[in-house]
Amino acid sequence: MTCETTYPLAPTRAAGPVPNIAFTHTESIVPPSRFALGLGPLDATLGGGLARARLHELWPVAAEDGPSATGFALMLALRASGAKGTIVWIGQEHGRAGALYPPGLAELGIDPGRILFVAAPDEKALLRAAGDVVRSPAAAVAVIAPAGPAPLLGLTASRRLTLFAERSGTTAILLRTADPQTPSAATTRWRVAAAPSQALEANAPGQTAFSLDLLRHRGGAPSHGWQVEWDRDRARFAPLSRAVAADAGRGYLAAG
């Protein structure tokens, strides 16, 4: 059964200015730790989880998967930031179809009060803001969300963001609108699509579900066809039920 799921988007303009926050810079390289996604076989494939203090990149399979990619980026940010870390969302004004929607965030188990929003007028300003945030240890996670193809966020920019992340300890997540088809220095690169979810009791909407392809894993091999869902109560990923995963073809069962 395919059920509707809640995504953190609303057809509204971009969020307002971010409150004042002091960003300081550091030059020493921070040894990376890892944060588990909560799904054992996938974490094992990643060598124990995703590396903090590094750049991770993702995009939707198709335009209609944009909300799923946004949700996945938020969930990674929540896992990476720990219990109290600040998440800085850096987007563009009047760019994407919708802004982050606080009730939608709450439905996913994400406290909107933990997210600081930065709205840049164009891609150049977004890149400058991303550099300032990622260079600072004041943020646990920076999500960089350009509005379009973002040609400036290529190999050189991704190398710079990776260097900043290594020195500050801030984890950077680059959320693109489509496959950039260009090289990147990101530690991992993901392709995200919506997946069918299974209804809960009384035919209530199921958990938010994803189909994931790990296209690049620095230090490891790519891995395709992961079918996962978000457990909002535990703030972690879990495998889809066997019935849904079997219908979906290559999934958790095939991968694990």
**Per-residue model confidence as pLDDT tens digits over 43-89:** 999 999 999 999 999 999 999 999 999 999 999 999 999 988 999 99
In terms of Cα–Cα distance, which of 175, 217, 181 is closest to 59? 175
pLDDT of residue 129: 97
Higher pLDDT, 139 or 94: 139
pLDDT of residue 49: 96
When pLDDT is averaged across residues 85-97 and rounded to a whole number, the result is 83
pTM as predicted: 0.83
pLDDT of residue 101: 85
pLDDT of residue 31: 65
Angle between helix 123-134 and 155-168 (nearest 10): 30
In terms of Cα–Cα distance, which of 115, 84, 136, 104 is closest to 7? 104
**Per-residue model confidence as pLDDT tens digits over 5-30:** 434 544 333 344 444 445 454 456 76
pLDDT of residue 174: 98
pLDDT of residue 143: 98
When pLDDT is averaged across residues 193-209 and rounded to a whole number, the result is 81
3-class DSSP state for residue 150?
coil
pLDDT of residue 246: 36
In terms of Cα–Cα distance, which of 129, 43, 51 is closest to 90? 129
All domains of the chain in start order, with CATH: 31-255 (3.40.50.300)
Give me the amino acid identity at 252. Y
How many CA atoms are closer than 13 Å to the CA of 151, on its beta-carbon side? 0
